């Protein structure tokens, strides 16, 4: 039933505890059209601007959707809350908990039912409350930030959690965490993924940002000992040095803004330097003994993901058995690695022999060469090339599926895929025990060129059609999808 409200609301008293008595009162004579959260679990005793849910940016839609409104807020487990929707001035309907639509550790979704039992949360904490006003659904997301990125020990695979957030009972929610970083990029994130999906009235879904980044449009450093405004879905942060960082993120309930800073504990750790480019050369290769850097296609590739992946290089090529090859920086500069300069050969890889100071393999064929320069070592692995497809066009996301493995054609010096199983985007990668995950060493065919992800982000989508076959010629980085 609709109710008409005209009242005096005592709103957000703890927020204004240091003000005079008169300032403690917020007079609300009319409830404006909109969506509001109120109740004993919240800081909001009535429908007013401070308790209003607002349209927010979505991943892929900076303007958001008018039917999706949200608010970041603190909720107490010993109270409850309702959602009020005012469709006209002072025309307010209160909604409570309906049927469960979905519930996981990262999101709980319920239908909203008029005048139903109020909603509750299981534990005190900071939450993102998203209401779909068309579907009458509420999405409740616990927000517990951590840190993720190339600068962290887990790279871009998972966030390292911060301490449980605290609330000062007035305005500020705070997360703190102490982590060891290397140089590189990072962000703050919650929920274990790059966004939760919420239902939209047209039967599709919209993706929420679960990360916090820089306000600017490109990677930039966070400022030490000075709170800087940050935002959901922002650009990466970056650090040019490592060390022990004590981070603090704050959310201000009145201004609805996130801010963050850090303190460096101890001195900075200057990261090791690795060559920007490393090349394969020698008469065992298609590039001969021309000076390294002469042939762009001879360049080895970096791994995506940062963190512990920095300092590893890989390349697929055809090697002639019994002939020599080396790995070198441009123009024979350091590192310039022959057989004697390698500190360790992969004990589980193929046999690499000394050929007049150079390296050689006995059997001609398609090989993957992986070079690991981390920890002041010079490790090398030479194995028969293993390339796999993965994703929609290959029928699923399981790694190293035998049916999705490419076949070597040593006469044509190519690797050839099985026919694509379905219409969908093509993803492919080289598999090797020294490469942690498939996406660390992926590549794709754009036109007639093989383009490598290297240490960058996701590549543009390449659609494929069921039945098509991919042919890869790595010696000149050319390929086809037919």
Look at 7-11, 119-123, 281-285, 460-464 and tell me which has the smallest mean pLDDT.
7-11
- Give the Å distances, CA to CA, from 153 to 157, 248, 309, 439: 9, 19, 10, 17
Q: Assess if residue 331 is contained within a domain.
A: yes
Residues 208 and 242 in one domain: yes
Residues 138 and 150 in one domain: no
pLDDT at 270: 85
Chosen domain end from 107, 142, 177: 142
Please give the angle made by the CA atoms of 456, 457 and 461, to the nearest 5 degrees: 120
Residues 293 and 415 in one domain: no
pLDDT at 21: 34
* Host domain of residue 211: 146-269
Q: Assess if residue 274 is contained within a domain.
A: no
Tell me the mean pLDDT in the region 195-221: 94
Q: Assess if residue 201 is contained within a domain.
A: yes
pLDDT at 9 over 80: no
pLDDT-derived band at 28 (thresholds 50, 70, 90) equals low
Residues 153 and 261 in one domain: yes
pLDDT at 214 over 60: yes
pLDDT at 24 over 50: no
pLDDT at 136: 97
pLDDT at 120: 97
Look at 16-25, 175-184, 242-251, 305-314 and tell me which has the smallest mean pLDDT.
16-25
Residues 13 and 130 in one domain: yes
Chosen domain end from 378, 395, 427: 378
pLDDT at 18 over 60: no
CA gap 185, 180 in Å, rounded: 13
Residues 416 and 360 in one domain: no
pLDDT at 20 over 60: no
Q: In the chain, what is the straight-line distance between the N-terminal and C-terminal CA atoms, in Å?
A: 63
- Tell me the DSSP string of 278-334: -EEEBTTSTTBTSPTTS-GGGB-EEPTT-GGGTTEEEEEEEE-TT--BEEE-GGGPS
pLDDT at 10 over 60: no
Chosen domain end from 142, 159, 188: 142
pLDDT tens profile 100-134: 999 998 999 999 999 999 999 999 999 999 999 99
pLDDT tens profile 248-289: 999 999 999 999 999 999 999 887 889 999 999 999 999 999
pLDDT-derived band at 29 (thresholds 50, 70, 90) equals low
pLDDT tens profile 417-449: 999 999 999 999 999 999 999 999 999 999 999
Task: Write out the two tokens for 303.
Answer: 């791994």
pLDDT tens profile 325-361: 999 999 999 999 999 999 999 999 999 999 999 999 9
Residues 138 and 51 in one domain: yes
In the chain, how many domains are there? Answer: 4
Q: Assess if residue 64 is contained within a domain.
A: yes
**CATH number where 460 lies:** 2.60.40.3610
Residues 151 and 138 in one domain: no
Nearest by Cα to 280 from 341, 326, 339: 326
pLDDT at 13: 38
**CATH number where 79 lies:** 2.60.40.3620
pLDDT-derived band at 23 (thresholds 50, 70, 90) equals very low
Residues 332 and 461 in one domain: no
pLDDT at 155: 87
Tell me the mean pLDDT in the region 292-314: 94
pLDDT tens profile 358-375: 999 999 999 999 999 999
Nearest by Cα to 336 from 359, 317, 360: 359
Residues 371 and 414 in one domain: no
Please give the angle made by the CA atoms of 351, 356 and 359, to the nearest 5 degrees: 30
pLDDT at 277: 96
Q: Assess if residue 255 is contained within a domain.
A: yes
Residues 345 and 404 in one domain: no
- Give the Å distances, CA to CA, from 293 to 65, 339, 340, 400: 50, 20, 22, 32
Task: Write out the two tokens for 226.
Answer: 């000075």
Q: Assess if residue 349 is contained within a domain.
A: yes
Nearest by Cα to 172 from 119, 248, 246, 121: 248
pLDDT at 6 over 60: no
CA gap 206, 211 in Å, rounded: 15
pLDDT tens profile 366-412: 999 999 999 999 999 999 999 999 999 999 999 999 999 999 999 99
Residues 43 and 133 in one domain: yes
* pTM for the structure as a whole: 0.66
Q: Assess if residue 157 is contained within a domain.
A: yes
């Amino acid at each position: 039933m609709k109710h008409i409200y005209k009242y005096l609301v005592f709103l957000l008293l703890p927020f204004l505890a240091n003000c005079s008595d008169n300032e403690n009162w917020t007079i609300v004579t009319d409830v404006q059209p909109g969506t509001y959260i109120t109740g004993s679990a919240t800081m909001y005793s009535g429908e007013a601007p401070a308790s209003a849910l607002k349209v927010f940016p979505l991943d892929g839609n900076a303007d958001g959707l008018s039917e999706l409104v949200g608010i970041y807020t603190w909720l107490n487990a010993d109270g409850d809350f309702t959602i009020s929707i005012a469709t006209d001035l002072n025309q307010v309907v209160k909604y409570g908990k309906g049927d469960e639509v979905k519930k996981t550790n990262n999101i709980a979704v319920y239908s909203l039912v008029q005048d139903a039992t109020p909603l509750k949360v299981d534990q005190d904490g900071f939450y993102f409350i998203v209401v779909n006003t068309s579907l009458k659904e509420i999405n409740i997301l616990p927000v517990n930030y951590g840190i993720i990125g190339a600068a962290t020990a887990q790279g871009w695979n998972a966030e390292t959690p911060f301490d449980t957030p605290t609330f000062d009972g007035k305005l500020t929610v705070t997360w703190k965490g102490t982590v060891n970083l290397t140089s590189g990029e990072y962000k703050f994130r919650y929920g274990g993924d790059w966004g939760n999906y919420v239902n939209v009235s047209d039967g599709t879904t919209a993706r929420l940002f679960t990360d916090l980044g820089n306000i600017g449009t490109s990677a930039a450093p966070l400022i030490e000992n000075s709170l800087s405004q940050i935002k959901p879905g922002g650009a990466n942060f970056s650090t040019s040095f490592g060390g022990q960082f004590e981070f603090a993120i704050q959310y201000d309930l009145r201004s609805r803004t996130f801010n963050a800073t850090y303190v460096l504990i101890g001195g900075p750790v200057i990261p090791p330097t690795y060559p920007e480019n490393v090349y394969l050369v020698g008469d065992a290769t298609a590039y001969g003994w021309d000076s390294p850097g002469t042939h762009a296609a001879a360049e080895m590739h970096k791994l995506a993901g940062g963190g512990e992946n920095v300092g590893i290089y890989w390349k697929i090529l055809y090697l002639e058995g019994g002939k020599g090859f080396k790995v070198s920086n441009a123009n024979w500069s350091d590192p310039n690695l022959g057989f004697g300069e390698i500190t360790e050969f992969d004990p589980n890889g193929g046999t690499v022999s000394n050929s007049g100071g150079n390296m050689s393999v006995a059997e001609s064929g398609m090989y993957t060469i992986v070079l690991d320069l981390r920890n002041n070592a010079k490790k090398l692995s030479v194995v028969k090339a293993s390339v796999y497809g993965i994703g929609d066009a290959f029928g699923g996301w399981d790694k190293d599926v035998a049916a999705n493995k490419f076949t070597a054609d040593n006469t044509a010096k190519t690797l050839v895929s099985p026919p694509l199983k379905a219409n969908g985007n093509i993803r492919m990668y080289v598999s090797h025990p020294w490469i942690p995950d498939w996406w660390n060493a992926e590549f794709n065919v754009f036109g007639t060129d093989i383009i490598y992800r290297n240490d960058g982000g996701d590549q543009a989508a390449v659609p494929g059609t069921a039945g098509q076959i991919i042919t890869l010629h790595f010696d000149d980085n050319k390929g086809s999808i037919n």
